[in-house]
Amino acid sequence: MKLNDKMLKALNEQINFEWYSAYIYQSMGAYFKGMNLNGFSNWMDVQAKEEMTHGFKIYNYVFDRGNQVELLAIDKPQASWKTIADVFSVALEHERKVSSRFFDILELCRELKDYSTENFVQWYINEQVEEESTVQEILERIEFAGDSKEFILMLDNELGQRVFTGGAFAASEM
């Protein structure tokens, strides 16, 4: 069954928001790369790729429902931050915004009695718990490091180990 017009609009906008998220993280990655913090930069590269898969999962779902995807304009992302901690606090705020958008979509599902989409967005609701907690943990560790460059370089080394494993299309997520 085709999507209700309101739902189609909400999902098209969410594809856009996920790809906007990718753009924000890639901008953060570029910022770190310019500082030679290549581990932080790698973590952001992987995060940006994951956000692309989040968008693609919705993109495929819209087609599965027999509708057409409409790609919207993506806003220019922020390009510089005051501190490393500031980057992650902006990321955390952003992830909280993403979560609340999914809660709104969930409300709309219930209003429209669209149980298939309700089931579909559940994946994102679960994923957002992980997204917020990962970013929050890194933020707390950066704040803990304070002015210790040694600790920041250790963290940079650790974040450099992150590998992209398919995001929303990883075998374990299917």
Question: Of 120 and 152, which has the nearer Cβ to Fe ion?
Answer: 120
DSSP structure string for 102-168: HHHHHHHHHHHT-HHHHHHHHHHHHHHHHHHHHHHHHHHHHHHHTT-HHHHHHHHHHHTT-----GG
- Collect all residues with Cβ–Cβ distance below 8 Å to 33 and sequence separation of at least 6: 41
Q: Which of 26, 54, 114, 135 binds Fe ion (CB under 5 A)?
A: 54
Is the separation of the CB atoms in 121 and 99 below 8 Å? no
Contact call for residue 114 and Fe ion (CB under 5 A): no
Question: Of 18 and 45, which has the nearer Cβ to Fe ion?
Answer: 18
Q: Which of 45, 114, 131, 156 binds Fe ion (CB under 5 A)?
A: 131
Is the separation of the CB atoms in 128 and 102 below 8 Å? yes
Least distance between Fe ion and beta carbon 153 (Å): 26
Question: Of 59 and 152, which has the nearer Cβ to Fe ion?
Answer: 59
The residue among 5, 2, 9, 10 whose CA lies nearest residue 105 is 10
Least distance between Fe ion and beta carbon 116 (Å): 20
Question: Of 54 and 65, which has the nearer Cβ to Fe ion?
Answer: 54
Piece of the chain touching Fe ion by CB under 5 A; list 1-9, 47-55, 67-75, 114-122: 47-55
Least distance between Fe ion and beta carbon 95 (Å): 5
Least distance between Fe ion and beta carbon 113 (Å): 26
Positions touching Fe ion (CB under 5 A) are: 18, 51, 54, 131
